[in-house]
């Protein structure tokens, strides 16, 4: 079995039990530094900062993932599409299409708790 990072109770609630953090409370909601967003549970690279945008929804939003990093699965509610880390299966949030917020017409609505960030080093 793969060894993953130790999660606190809130991280377990969201990542393992498919919870949701309260809107506008996540540390990455209004965060726009240059770098890579990684899975909090397994450290797999998920999103590059150039795909992040301000959607006003209260959670970090991305219009594209790193190829192969995010898996889409039908949500238990039968209406939405859940997104999980393709490496460890940790819950990230939900993906929405057709909202026309970006040219890619996609919004990954991600819990900050599900993410860590690695800043890009200046050359």
Task: Tell me the catalytic residues.
Answer: 109
pLDDT tens digit sequence for 33-77? 999 999 999 999 999 999 999 999 999 999 999 999 999 999 888
Share of the chain above pLDDT 70, in %: 98
Q: Which of 78, 105, 107 is nearest to 93 (CA)?
A: 107
What domains can be seen in the chain, in order of their start residue? 9-119 (2.170.150.20)
Question: Whole-angstrom Cα distance, residue 92 to residue 55?
Answer: 17
25, pLDDT greater than 90: yes
pLDDT band of 121, cuts 50, 70, 90? confident
Q: What is the pTM of this model?
A: 0.94
123, pLDDT greater than 80: no
More confident residue, 75 or 82: 82
Share of the chain above pLDDT 90, in %: 92
| Inter-residue long-range contacts of 12-16, CB under 8 Å, 24+ positions, other chains counted | 14/91, 14/111, 14/113, 14/114, 15/40, 15/41, 15/90, 15/91, 15/113, 15/114, 16/90, 16/91
* Residue 120 Cα to chain centre, angstroms: 18
1, pLDDT greater than 70: no
6, pLDDT greater than 60: yes
């Amino acid at each position: 079995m793969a060894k993953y990072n130790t999660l606190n109770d809130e991280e377990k609630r969201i990542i393992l039990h498919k919870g949701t953090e309260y809107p506008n409370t996540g540390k990455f909601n209004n965060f726009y530094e240059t770098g890579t967003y990684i899975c909090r549970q397994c450290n797999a690279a998920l999103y590059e900062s150039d795909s992040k945008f301000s959607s006003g929804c209260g959670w970090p939003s991305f219009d594209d993932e790193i190829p192969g990093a995010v898996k889409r699965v039908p949500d238990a509610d039968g209406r939405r599409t859940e997104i999980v880390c393709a490496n460890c299966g940790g819950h990230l949030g939900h993906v929405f299409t057709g909202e026309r917020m970006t040219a890619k017409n996609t919004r990954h609505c991600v819990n900050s708790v599900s993410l860590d960030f690695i800043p890009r080093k200046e050359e």
